[in-house]
Amino acid sequence: MKVCMTHRETFYHLLSAVFNAYNKQPVIAELGVLRGENALRLYNALNPEKMVLIDSWSPAANDAYSPFDQLPPWVEAIDTYAYYYGGSMYDMATWDNLYQECLSKFADKENVTVIRAETIDAIPDIQPRTGIEKFDLVYIDANHQYEYILRDLMYYQDLVAEDGFMLLNDCCHSPNGTKQNLGVLEALGSFLKRSDFVPVAVTNTDWSDVILVRKNSVMLQLVDIAITNSDIPFVEIPHQLMSAARVVYGAHRTNISFA
Ligand SMILES: C[S@@+](CC[C@H](N)C(=O)[O-])C[C@H]1O[C@@H](n2cnc3c(N)ncnc32)[C@H](O)[C@@H]1O
């Protein structure tokens, strides 16, 4: 696994080059879309044949934030992040505005389908609404709590083509992540033991992005070759160390430590 000194958008361009080399216009999805900013970056970088955007855009997503009536002291109240969402996350109008913002970004893109539903409830709608049987890339960034990420990984792996990818956002253990009760890295650790996916690359950043691919896929070698021959600085480590990753904040920059 390559720990790459880069950001998630570089990964999109890298995967685009890999799909091009493979002569494939990818079919892609994003789970957890918010206002569609990252979805548009994915769309522009990967030029997909089809794209599906899935988000509940609902205050019900707050219910899963913590199982406890009283938040533990290391977890911040959910509305601490209202600035990021453009209003209170308990207010339906905030979610309706985000949904409309997203729709307006993709209004002229006929190959994009937007499904307003919980990630798992959306699954039976995908094929009838889009004709898609399998995705070449699924970007997972919906509910970030352990059980939910694990559930997204477990269900959506079956919708990923044999040589397809999953990308996981916010896959880190960091002081800032702890304040949001993130369980993404821990869910990945469990998923890797239950599946034939392996992490092939991770960004050396807070809110890290991880590329996952099946261990017997030809894409494992192709991504490896693409990164090796790119100008992205990286350090190679055994992928089994992924669960040990921890973000450390220095005076000048953030790094990932596996020690
Ligand atoms: C961090 S935001 C996504 C940000 C976006 N991917 C980006 O990078 O710009 C998380 C989104 O996931 C959605 N979400 C949370 N839980 C969900 C669930 N169970 N099903 C569907 N969407 C969910 C929220 O509505 C929110 O818009």
CB contact set of 47 (below 8 Å; sequence gap of 6+): 16, 25
The CA 86 to ligand 1 mean position distance, Å, reads: 14
> What are the structure tokens assigned to 56, written together?
């509940």
Residue 72 domain-assigned (yes or no): no
Angle between helices 218-228 and 8-21 (to 10 degrees): 120
Q: Which of 7, 8, 11, 34 to mutate to test the pocket of ligand 1 (most atoms within 8 A of CB)?
A: 34
259 residues of the chain, pLDDT tens digit each: 999 999 999 999 999 999 999 999 999 999 999 999 999 999 999 999 999 999 999 999 888 899 999 999 999 998 898 999 999 999 999 999 999 999 999 999 999 999 999 999 999 999 999 999 999 999 999 999 999 999 999 999 999 999 999 999 999 999 999 999 999 999 999 999 999 999 999 999 999 999 999 999 999 999 999 999 999 999 999 999 999 999 999 999 999 999 9
CB contact set of 115 (below 8 Å; sequence gap of 6+): 52, 53, 54, 55, 122, 125, 126, 129
The CA 233 to ligand 1 mean position distance, Å, reads: 30
Q: Which residue puts its alpha carbon closest to atom 27 of ligand 1?
A: 34
Q: Which of 33, 38, 171 to mutate to test the pocket of ligand 1 (most atoms within 8 A of CB)?
A: 33
pLDDT digits (tens, 9 = 90+) for 91-149: 999 999 999 999 999 999 999 999 999 999 999 999 999 999 999 999 999 999 999 99
Residue 73 domain-assigned (yes or no): no
Residue 122 domain-assigned (yes or no): yes
Q: What is the CATH number of the domain that holds 174?
A: 3.40.50.150
Q: Is 194 exposed, middle or buried (0-12, 13-18, 19+ CB in 10 A)?
A: exposed
Number of domains in the chain: 1
Residue 49 domain-assigned (yes or no): yes
Mean pLDDT of the chain: 96
The residue range of the domain holding 176 is: 2-62+79-257
**CB 48 within 8 Å of CB 41:** no
Residue 71 domain-assigned (yes or no): no
Instruction: For the chain, state the CA radius of gyration.
Output: 18
Residue 70 domain-assigned (yes or no): no
Note the pLDDT of residue 144: 95
Q: Beginning with the edge strand found earlier in the chain, give each strand of the sheet holding 135-140 in spatial order.
A: 112-116, 50-55, 27-31, 135-140, 160-168, 210-214, 197-203, 2-4, 234-236
CB neighbours of residue 72 within 10 Å: 9
The CA 194 to ligand 1 mean position distance, Å, reads: 24
Q: Which residues line ligand 1 (CB under 6 A)?
A: 30, 32-34, 37-38, 55-57, 61, 118-119, 141-143, 148
**CB 140 within 8 Å of CB 149:** yes
The atom of ligand 1 lying closest to the CA of 117 is 21
CB neighbours of residue 66 within 10 Å: 15
The CA 54 to ligand 1 mean position distance, Å, reads: 8
Which sign, positive or negative, has the C-alpha torsion 6, 189, 38, 77?
negative
**CB 14 within 8 Å of CB 213:** no
Note the pLDDT of residue 64: 87
> What are the structure tokens assigned to 182, written together?
């993130």
The atom of ligand 1 lying closest to the CA of 34 is 27
The CA 66 to ligand 1 mean position distance, Å, reads: 16
The CA 38 to ligand 1 mean position distance, Å, reads: 11
Residue 52 domain-assigned (yes or no): yes
Residue 67 domain-assigned (yes or no): no
The CA 39 to ligand 1 mean position distance, Å, reads: 11
The atom of ligand 1 lying closest to the CA of 61 is 16
